[in-house]
Structure 1
Amino acid sequence: MKKYLPIAGAMLAAAVTHAHAQSSVTLYGVADIGIEYLNHVPDATRQSSNLFRMTSGNIAGSRWGMRGVEDLGGGLKGVFVLEGGMVLDTGMASQGGRLFGRKAYVGLDSNAFGQFTMGRHHNLMFDLIITYDPMYFAPKYSAFSHDPWLAGRVDNAAKYTGKFGGLTISGLYSFGVDSTVANGSEVPGNSRVGRDMSAGFSYQAGKFRFGGVYDQLNGNSASKASLTERRYVGAAAVDVGPVTAYLGYRRLVSQLVTTMSRTDLMWAGANWNLAPNFALTGAVYKTNDRTSARDPISFVVSADYRLSKRTDAYVTASYTKNKSGSALSANGYDGSVLPGENQIGAVIGMRHSF
């Protein structure tokens, strides 16, 4: 027995080492914070005022998360992601205080057939179109300001993504996008309440790439379950040396809102890598309201200096021109600009990834 114990111990150690090598859990995150200036912000008496403030998540949402993978053999893997957002200047959780409000899902990944996951996900517009926005749907000063649903998240969702050469295809079905709304999702006898259905693709051929997404969202109450909000999104990008040029379009047709129910959002811009650690970005975003003359347009410039592979400093500035009473601020329709007033916004900050 003593003769075989060392052999058995070696075999057990080898098995544990092999299992460890085939499975992993990674802790990761982003910490982004800066100082922002905005003009024409309404004060307590609805007068125009300047605002200086500290803000979290300016060019990337501050977050922390865990992702794991286990090799199940035969090209099949088990995967999971748990990711929570945070407001860095206060230490509070974002996404309504959810522990893992950004992502929370588990599923299977196959080398041959793609990935299938279930849980809380980003929508397909974020997955497939984000790289076609010069500002990458930054929480501030990007296409996200004109339409936050471009980077929306959905509860109770099943998602499939397959990559076949230069083509990526994806589909998503949610049984109810927001479980925090009472009777707003997964309602017995009414499967349309809060339902979201989406499909899209992205294709890359050399230095040129393009993509498209269709997204349909139903109302989050029984009385609005038959009403829909549809988005049609298409975008393209091309690399020309150190410069990448972008072009995008989103059509919105909504029965869920009474204002801006039919709009076109268009954007164009470019990113210029002047040096390995320095880049400039410029973009213009315009919303065309088909039901009124409220057509805001915003102009954005940004400079990013990479201090290391994980730490960078940035300066971003925006000029938003409002028309006919529109009230788009540098940060979206959040009430931080007086209706019809133009706004200048600027933020200087730092981002660290781990």
Structure 2
Amino acid sequence: MPLTIRMSKLKTKIIALAVLTGFAAGAQAQSSVTLYGVMDVALSYQTHTNPSGDSTIGLQQGNEGFLSGSRFGLKGDESLGDGWRAGFTLENGFLANTGKLDQQGQLFGRQAFVKLGRERWGDLALGRQYTTANTMLYYVDPLGVGAAPSNSWQVYLVGQRYDNAISYTGAWGPMQVIAEFAAGGIAGETRARSSMSLGVKYASGPITLIGDAQQTNDTQSRRARIYLGGVKATIGNASLYANYLHSNRDAGFDSSNGGTDTASITSMASGSPTAAVAINSVFNQRRSDDFFTLGASYRATPSWLFTIGGMQDRTHADGFDGTRTTTYGVADYSLSKRTDVYLATAYEWTSGGWSGLFGNTTTNASAAKGATLNGRSEQLSVMLGLRHLF
């Protein structure tokens, strides 16, 4: 369980007078600070991890567990009275197999923001935050967006977090709306390196619907746009998931900001498709992606949860078309409310411009020139994991 510390702010009184009269000062506001976290560590077996086609056994797949990224964080909340509230979140991501920082080495790379809000009005937050698209995907993905490279590569299309972000979150009945803007911070430029997005969720009974639109500009004001829609339907102990994402990037779009700065939208740079459509973040061709997910989960008993899913990205980039597909399955057993063990497997295969992705060692320089990948076109992963929440 998260550790929560509660405090009371006393009205300003003269302490001696309070003692003499026998009356304690009244509580003016309630506040709390909560420590929380997740650790997900897995023993992983992967085929085709280098151009020779060799297999690898070790902890983690891409330094993450299959289900969750390891993290710890602090959340603070304060009631200001008359319906007003304030709060903050500081969330660190780390690699449980090495203890190193995740998220580009940022201390609080997962989240770092302060917020102010009022009942029925919503919340205004400022700082490093999740993108609206990543938040909306969570509601309609079978794994709530996994953590391993084999089950979470859709985030490379939408990005995961905004730096320098201002967001508004409002909720009215079954409807939730999130609007977000990330400033570029370049003198004399209002558009360069900025991002803006709008996400909507509708949840009523067994049905959850989401939609999202997002635009990101690089340092040269070249644009990447995404449009997302999805649904989750629950029937008894079973849930069905589906989502569709369309992405367009201008020719030469560079989400890494030239490699000199953390992008306003991070995680968009790494994992971009293949040498044919440029494995690095910069490529000369205009590119579009059509990505979809289908999946289902079934709660067989209070302890056993079974999940299956499939993901496919169809990429188009001026003659370098390609397809990447993943299927996966997870058997998860809860030892308690906070601890579970799982067995997961994923099989991936590629074609066209994606061919040779797995175990590839093609350099970014040659990738930018359209060199073909030297890896393999399929990969099998099996993971036995242990996850603990605190």
Q: 2:304 aligns with which of 278, 287, 292?
A: 278
| Pair 1:168 & 2:181 matched | no
Structure 1 position 52, deviation (Å): 1.0
Structure-2 separation of matches of 1:100 and 1:197: 22
Q: 1:51 aligns with which of 45, 53, 56?
A: 56
| Pair 1:229 & 2:242 matched | no
Q: 1:47 to 1:162 in 2, by over 3 A?
A: same
Structure 1 position 260, deviation (Å): 7.6
| Pair 1:344 & 2:357 matched | no
Q: Deviations over 1:139-190 (max 9, x none)?
A: 21565224424451111000001010000011000003xxxxxxxxx11001
After TM superposition, list the pairs within 5 Å mapping 1:244-255 onto structure 2: 244-255=239-250
Structure-1 separation of matches of 2:117 and 2:358: 41
Q: Deviations over 1:206-228 (max 9, x none)?
A: 11111100010001x2xx22x10
After TM superposition, list the pairs within 5 Å mapping 1:1-354 onto structure 2: 6-8=19-21, 10-12=23-25, 15=26, 18-19=27-28, 22-42=30-50, 46-55=51-60, 56-58=63-65, 59-140=67-148, 144-150=152-158, 152-176=160-184, 186-219=185-218, 221=219, 224-225=220-221, 227-255=222-250, 256=253, 257-258=283-284, 261-291=287-317, 292-326=320-354, 327-329=356-358, 339-354=375-390
Which 4+ runs in 1 deviate beyond 2 A?
Answer: 3-10, 141-144, 146-151, 257-260, 290-293, 327-330, 337-340
Q: 1:290 to 1:251 in 2, by over 3 A?
A: same
Match of 2:370 in 1: none
SS at match of 2:152: helix
Structure 1 position 290, deviation (Å): 2.7
| Equivalent pair of 2:45/2:58 in contact (CA under 8 Å) | yes
Tell me the TM-score normalized by structure 2: 0.79
- Structure 2 residue ranges without an equivalent (≥5): 1-15, 254-282, 365-372
Structure-1 separation of matches of 2:28 and 2:103: 36
Percent of aligned pairs with the same amino acid? 28
Q: What letter is aligned with 1:57? A: E
Structure 1 position 194, deviation (Å): 1.1
Over the aligned positions, Cα root-mean-square deviation in angstroms equals 2.3
Q: 1:9 to 1:107 in 2, by over 3 A?
A: farther
- Structure 1 residue ranges without an equivalent (≥5): 177-185
Structure 1 position 35, deviation (Å): 1.0
Q: What letter is aligned with 1:253? A: N
Q: Deviations over 1:68-89 (max 9, x none)?
A: 0111111110111011111111
Q: 1:303 to 1:134 in 2, by over 3 A?
A: same
| Equivalent pair of 1:48/1:338 in contact (CA under 8 Å) | no
Structure-2 separation of matches of 1:148 and 1:334: 19
Q: What letter is aligned with 1:173? A: F
SS at match of 1:144: coil
Structure-2 separation of matches of 1:334 and 1:169: 41
Structure 1 position 340, deviation (Å): 4.8
Q: What letter is aligned with 2:199? A: G
Structure-1 separation of matches of 2:227 and 2:302: 36
Equivalences, count:
328
Tell me the TM-score normalized by structure 1: 0.87
Structure-2 separation of matches of 1:290 and 1:261: 6
Structure-1 separation of matches of 2:77 and 2:336: 28
Q: 1:258 to 1:271 in 2, by over 3 A?
A: farther
Structure-2 separation of matches of 1:139 and 1:117: 25
Structure-2 separation of matches of 1:261 and 1:312: 40
